[in-house]
Amino acid sequence: MSLAAVCAWSFLRSAAVALFAALLSQPLANVLVASKAPLATGSGINGRERTRRRAALLGRGVLWGLLLAPFLVPPLLVGYAYYRPALMLVHYPRTTEAIYWAVLFLRFFAAAVLIRVFAPPSPLSAEAIHCQRLLRPRNKARLRRWAADVFTWLRGSGQPSIAAFAVIFLSAFQEFEIAALMGITAGDVQSPASWTVWLFNWQAGGAPLSESLTFAMTPLFYELVVIVPALILLGSWMSSPWRVEREADGSVRARVASEIFLIAATLVIAGGPSLIVFRGALRGLQSRAATGPLLPEIGIAAAIASTAVLLIGILCAVALGFAPRRLRGAIVSLLCLPGALGSLVLSMGVLWLFQQPGLQSLSQSLVPVVLAVAFVLLPRSLILTAMLGSSRRAQAAHCARMLAQSPSAPQRRAAARLIDELEVRRFFWAGVLVWYWAYWELTAPSILAPPAATPFVVRMYNFMHYRQDDPLSVMIVASILVPLAAVALLAGARRFVVRWVLQ
Amino acid sequence: MPNKKRTAVAAAGIILAGALVSFAVWPRMFEAGTPVVNVYCAHDAIFADAIFDEFTRQTGIKVAITYDTEATKSLSLVDRLKREREHPQCDVFWNNEQVGTMDLAGQDVLATYKGSGYGRIPALYKDADGRWTGFAARMRVWIVNTKAMPPDREKVETFFKNHPEHCAMANPLYGTTLTQFSILWQLRGPEHVKSWRADLRQRGLREMAGNAPVKDAVAEGVCEVGWTDTDDFFEALDDKKPVAMLPLFVSDGKATGAESKYTIIVPNTVGLIQNCPHQSEAQRLVDFLLSAETELALARSKSRQIPLGPVDSQKILPEVRELAQSVPQGYDLRKLEMPRRECIDWLKSESRR
């Protein structure tokens, strides 16, 4: 299968997954927004509200946990879990393809929901759209009326859907780890196709970088087909000062349906892999299976991720905060371009760069891998930062900062709590999310990490190839729990530091 | 007061950032002064780790390893070494096959070194100039699901010929399957290989991502027969799967008789990198890897690598002892560089269609 054909197939698959996720995220986001609103308490609860409360099987925290679990499960783990089912289906490539579509959808749809919940709501209210329809002359042709409706949708209520579609499309289109472990190939006669695997295979026996870059142009073209229109359309949305209230759906039926869907998604994407891993880890611990010196490698991965987050933070601040407004679009596009090439091509480019005489002395450092990881994650991080910035409640934050100047200690304490809520907490958790992505990034470290500093994820992937279940499961559990504990500690420290500084 | 606290937090942040950046620039900051040898290793980490640990225990030299993962197989360590030729970072290259190492030797990446272990390896498995030396090999084998059919050579070969849709092999662009294809390319000619593969693919032969999935497919009964390596086969056997193996023979298809049939023995190979930064430590590691002790350790490991040099046969498992008898019958891979290159080019051109 030629690269163009494989790319076209990958494009279709990613577009279908993204479309489905963008559509399905709407009712889910509405339910989550409804669950965000505090419930009325006391005797004033009416019958409908009481029914709604009874129907809510799961609390708000559990609902969010279920939503995020499939999204945050490392892709390696998902691929690892689906390796065997895919193998059993080797004679049924269409079924394997269908499973891959389902896995991609269930893994990424949470991102679409998050975009709908946290991104700024539409600048056009339903009333405004209705008024516009009423004002439209009745004698216009049907096609023109339809075009006007589409235009209104694009400039108004459709914008969160477009953002969700673009982000899911990019994530699904660039996916590699699950495809590789599920045996998705470069498009042989009997198997489904993925351009990432095709490009990987093309490197066999060594291909010049220029050739790889030439090949990377085809998938890049497909990405730009989605990214460029999305950026043009979303620019006005992000910068619009007009906001309307977000829709919320508190109906019992929607809530129950959402809960069932989220439980199923979590079981399929997070539950299965977790069961395999924890069962194996238990056996591994009982039999004291050798796990190898993993802690230093977890430390190396954490150091790479932390440095990458630091760099990403600086670049995001420069691009979205300090750069002149008229240059912002160009700077953001320039910063996103390397990441849009995909992890493999970008890492090869960085490898080549650090073989050049001026930079060669840094080739055995972590600088190349940190740079590559940062640029791989930069598009996602910029979207995240832009979303956080545009949904920021600036007036409330300003009031809280003024309150922090108060001579009264209780008021300063309250201000510290408010500032933490309004400003620090959001960026902290966004940083944790980017750090998490960097921590589990595989392709860049496997190509660029120097011999003295191989992160755990590279070693683990190597082990996964040989199905060493029990020791590997112990390693996986350790690699999840150690940073989890560190993040929990940091989250606690964050509250303490914010209050200590502001009081 | 808050200003002072802010300064303190900012200072702590700057110190932390500085520490991170320093570590990123100089990851060995905590190990300065320790003797070290940098190794690029394509052998399986689960088996190689034990060998390196033993070397460090005996010599006190720390081994910094970069493994060749599934993720990097396409951008293999061979390519990385070629790119680093002008400024070598690696000291020793431990490859899990021979032809890629020969490619490096041909491009002056490897240095000549005939240490204490060089002499004990048969000439068939080492470079006459000492730029690389083979040790501890694998063999290409048929893997058969015994629930589906008995491990009878004639039956297996006939079944493969008639029902390729129930058989599996790894993607021939990589590893030992590429070596197998390159041998056929040399023995039978390009046209034969091209039409043979096209026919098998058309009739539904399953091409998997690697030898391990082939082994799994046969072990689970998804496919009945496949080609894999001895180390993968033994893994399935240890997992108590219903599998058996038969050595895979190659021939030019014209001559008959035992002498015209070859087994495909794929040795691990080790080479010293030209102008490497830690030469004396590297030489000690090469000597260690080529010792009978290492070959024995690898033969007794779960992967059951076949020793190429003389070892105490009482200390190795019976199945390895049996495999070791095929060592002199192995196909000479030393002239395989050109067919391999042509074969890769053809396979890549196939994927572009």
Three-state SS for A100-149 is HHHHHHHHHHHHHHHHHHHCCCCCCCHHHHHHHHHHCCCCCCHHHHHHHH
At residue B45, does pLDDT exceed 70? Answer: yes
Contact B89 A202 (CB under 8 A): no
Contact B83 A352 (CB under 8 A): yes
- Dihedral angle, C-alpha A332, A337, A340, A345, nearest 10 °: -150
B257 pLDDT band (50/70/90 cuts)? low
At residue B195, does pLDDT exceed 90? Answer: yes
Contact B24 A366 (CB under 8 A): yes
At residue A392, does pLDDT exceed 50? Answer: yes
Contact list in A for residue B89 (CB cut-off 8 A) is 363-364, 450-451
Contact list in A for residue B223 (CB cut-off 8 A) is 90
A317 touches chain B (CB under 8 A): no
At residue A68, does pLDDT exceed 80? Answer: yes
At residue B292, does pLDDT exceed 80? Answer: yes
Contact list in A for residue B212 (CB cut-off 8 A) is 465-467
Please count the residue pairs, one from chain A and one from chain B, whose beta carbons lie less than 8 angstroms apart.
Answer: 182
At residue A109, does pLDDT exceed 80? Answer: yes
A195 touches chain B (CB under 8 A): no
Answer with the residue of higher pLDDT: A267 or A422. Answer: A267
The listed range with the strongest mean pLDDT (A123-137, A223-237, B308-322) is B308-322
- When pLDDT is averaged across residues A435-457 and rounded to a whole number, the result is 86
A182 touches chain B (CB under 8 A): no
* pLDDT computed for residue B302 by the predictor: 86
How high is the mean pLDDT of chain B? Answer: 87
Answer with the residue of higher pLDDT: A94 or A16. Answer: A16
Superfamily of domain B30-137+266-328: Periplasmic binding protein-like II (3.40.190.10)
Which residue reads 């074969």 in tokens?
B343
At residue A204, does pLDDT exceed 70? Answer: no
At residue A465, does pLDDT exceed 70? Answer: no
At residue B198, does pLDDT exceed 50? Answer: yes
Contact B64 A500 (CB under 8 A): no
Residue to substitute from B52, B70, B103, B174, interface A, most A β-carbons within 10 A:
B70
CATH 1.10.3720.10 fits A292-503, yes or no: yes
Which residue reads 């595989």 in tokens?
A442
Percent of chain A residues past pLDDT 70, beyond the cut: 84
Chain A residue whose CA is closest to B70: A462
Contact A454 B66 (CB under 8 A): yes
A468 touches chain B (CB under 8 A): yes
Query: Do A451 and B27 touch, CB atoms closer than 8 A?
Result: no
- When pLDDT is averaged across residues B246-252 and rounded to a whole number, the result is 86
- When pLDDT is averaged across residues B123-150 and rounded to a whole number, the result is 94
* pLDDT computed for residue A389 by the predictor: 76
Q: Where in chain A is the domain with CATH 1.10.3720.10?
A: 292-503
- When pLDDT is averaged across residues B101-129 and rounded to a whole number, the result is 92
> Considering only CA atoms, which of B133, B137, B139 is closest in space to residue B121?
B133
At residue A500, does pLDDT exceed 50? Answer: yes
At residue B271, does pLDDT exceed 90? Answer: yes
Contact B212 A87 (CB under 8 A): no
Query: Do B306 and B138 touch, CB atoms closer than 8 A?
Result: yes
> Considering only CA atoms, which of A87, A181, A469 is closest in space to residue B220?
A87
B295 pLDDT band (50/70/90 cuts)? very high
Contact list in A for residue B87 (CB cut-off 8 A) is 355, 360, 363
Residue B49 has its nearest CB partner, among A183, A292, A458, at A292
Residue B332 makes CB contacts below 8 A (sequence gap 6+) with B124
- Please, which residues 373-412 of chain A have a Cβ atom closer than 8 Å to chain B? 404
* pLDDT computed for residue B127 by the predictor: 94
Residue B75 has its nearest CB partner, among A191, A203, A466, at A203
Answer with the residue of higher pLDDT: B19 or B258. Answer: B19
Answer with the residue of higher pLDDT: B145 or B87. Answer: B145
Q: Which CATH number fits domain B139-263+343-352: 3.40.50.150, 1.10.240.10, 3.30.470.30, 3.40.190.10?
A: 3.40.190.10
Chain A residue whose CA is closest to B89: A364
A40 pLDDT band (50/70/90 cuts)? very low
> Which two structure tokens, joined as six digits, stand for B148?
């589906």
* pLDDT computed for residue A41 by the predictor: 47
* pLDDT computed for residue A57 by the predictor: 56
CA distance B28 to chain A (A): 7
The listed range with the strongest mean pLDDT (A367-371, B21-25, B30-34) is A367-371
At residue A234, does pLDDT exceed 50? Answer: yes
* pLDDT computed for residue A248 by the predictor: 64
Percent of chain A residues past pLDDT 90, beyond the cut: 10
* pLDDT computed for residue B23 by the predictor: 74
How high is the mean pLDDT of chain A? Answer: 79
pTM score of the predicted model: 0.80
> Considering only CA atoms, which of B86, B92, B135 is closest in space to residue B107?
B86
- When pLDDT is averaged across residues B64-84 and rounded to a whole number, the result is 71
CA distance B276 to chain A (A): 14
Answer with the residue of higher pLDDT: A451 or A290. Answer: A451
* pLDDT computed for residue B256 by the predictor: 62
At residue A197, does pLDDT exceed 70? Answer: yes
B246 pLDDT band (50/70/90 cuts)? very high
- When pLDDT is averaged across residues A180-185 and rounded to a whole number, the result is 76
* pLDDT computed for residue B167 by the predictor: 94
Q: Which long-range contacts (CB under 8 A, 24 or more apart) does A307-310 make?
A: A307/A366, A307/A370, A307/B20, A307/B21, A307/B23, A307/B24, A308/A370, A308/A373, A308/A374, A308/A377, A308/A434, A308/A435, A308/A438, A309/A431, A309/A434, A309/A435, A309/A438, A310/B17, A310/B20, A310/B21
> Considering only CA atoms, which of A289, A295, A300 is closest in space to residue A370?
A300
- When pLDDT is averaged across residues A246-272 and rounded to a whole number, the result is 80
Domains B30-137+266-328 and B139-263+343-352 share a fold: yes
**Mean pLDDT lowest among A100-104, A498-502, B111-115, B310-314:** A498-502
- When pLDDT is averaged across residues A277-281 and rounded to a whole number, the result is 79
A163 touches chain B (CB under 8 A): no
The listed range with the strongest mean pLDDT (A123-137, A292-306, B316-330) is B316-330
Residue B37 sits at φ, ψ, to 5 deg, of -135, 130
How long, in residues, is chain A? 503
- When pLDDT is averaged across residues A3-14 and rounded to a whole number, the result is 90
* pLDDT computed for residue A104 by the predictor: 92
Residue A458 has its nearest CB partner, among B40, B69, B235, at B69
* pLDDT computed for residue A244 by the predictor: 52
DSSP alpha helices (H): ranges in B107-239?
153-162, 175-188, 190-202, 211-219, 230-238
At residue A289, does pLDDT exceed 70? Answer: no
Chain A residue whose CA is closest to B174: A204
At residue A190, does pLDDT exceed 70? Answer: no
- When pLDDT is averaged across residues A269-280 and rounded to a whole number, the result is 82
> Which two structure tokens, joined as six digits, stand for A394?
């600036």
A147 touches chain B (CB under 8 A): no
Residue B24 has its nearest CB partner, among A188, A189, A367, at A367
CA distance A90 to chain B (A): 7
A303 touches chain B (CB under 8 A): yes
A43 pLDDT band (50/70/90 cuts)? very low
> Domain coordinates of chain B in residue numbers?
30-137+266-328, 139-263+343-352
